[in-house]
Amino acid sequence: DDQVVDYPTTENYERIEFLGDAVLELIVTTHLFFMLPEAKEGILSLFRIPLVANTHLSKVSKRVGLHRHLVISHDAYFNLPGPREKIHADILEAFLGAVFLDSGLDEADRLFALMFFPNPAERKLWTNLKPHEFQIEYPQGDRHLIEKCATLTKLTDLENLLGIKFKHISLLGRALSSS
């Protein structure tokens, strides 16, 4: 007996879009962090802003055709509140949120790269990230430095308190340092 079954939903895309916005920020921030290892925080922010701007998200959303898969009537689409650019951006964020919920961050990252960088050469630049300097210098970790440095020894107290053991304890030291 073939019956059409409507999917169960009690909410629109906004909650998933909220999550997708954070997924998008994490993906872009992570890639920029690794791609621009010498860049200061302000420079990284300047690179991130245009990548996550509604104008750009809307263009990507339209290019990949997400709007053609909205589950609303043609008339409702044209009567949606707000500028269409914002709605196109929102559905792209909601899509990334749905991918994240269903398949995890790696899959959301992969699809982000496909959608945002249709040119294979650009996508290769975006996806082939170099390891962090700590991973290069100490691929097996740097815990051997603990016995040589009182500050790192003290950080093991924090690790024990929180129940985490850093492979690269110097990274924890850098995260908690101020200059």
What is the set of active-site residues? 21, 93
- Amino acid occupying residue 110: R
The pair of structure tokens assigned to 27 is 């993906």
The pair of structure tokens assigned to 46 is 């300047």
The pair of structure tokens assigned to 177 is 């340092």
Cβ contact 90:17 at 8 Å: yes
Taking the C-alpha atoms of residue 39 and residue 86, their distance in angstroms, rounded to an integer, is 30
Q: What is residue 105's three-state secondary structure?
A: helix
